[in-house]
Structure formats: structure tokens, C-alpha cells
Amino acid sequence: MTKRRILKKNVHYISGELFTTCVLYKNLVPDTNEKEIDQLMIKILEVDTDFTARISHGESKNAKFYYKRFHEDFKNVINGITNELNKLGTVTE
């Protein structure tokens, strides 16, 4: 099992990369909805805080099941955020 410290670093790294992508979309892609990007940036920060807290307060009895569910939940949330980013990045004419 991965150490909690390394797992937290990975969560922060992925969240930071997504946040940076949002900033780039906001500043470099023309005709983007800034309110939607701002909401997505807030969501990314909330996800980072939530999953970091989940790492800190993990279960010790069923640690294997807990962290397996954690990985699945995190993957699903990140996939949802990337799908939202992809929708924002497409230019509709």
C-alpha cells in the first residue's frame, strides 16, 4: 500500500495540473465561459480538500477496501472534471 504522504502528494499534483489547465483555458482559449471555468476551479479545490481529508482520516480496520474505494472514487471524479474541461474547450460555431 502506498504511504499516505505519497498519496497526498499525488492528489495535490493531479489537482494542481487540472487547476493549471483551467487557468490556461481561461486566459488563452477565446470564447470560453469564464463563469463555468471559475466554478470548475472551485470544484477542483474542493475535490483536493475532500480527498486529502479522506486520506488523513482513513479506516485502519478495512484499509485495503477503504483505499481501493478511495482510488475508484478519485478516478471517477477526475474523469468527470476532465470531461467538463473537454466540453469547455470545444469551440462551438
Most confident of 1-5, 58-62, 70-74: 70-74
pLDDT at 77: 97
For residue 92, is pLDDT > 80?
no
Domain boundaries, the chain: 4-89
* DSSP state, residue 29: S
- Reported pTM: 0.85
For residue 8, pLDDT over 50 is answered with: yes
Residue 18: CB atoms within 10 A of its CB come to 22
Can you tell me the mean pLDDT for 6-25? 94
pLDDT, tens digit, 9 for 90 and up, residues 22-71: 999 888 888 788 899 999 999 999 999 999 999 888 777 888 888 899 99
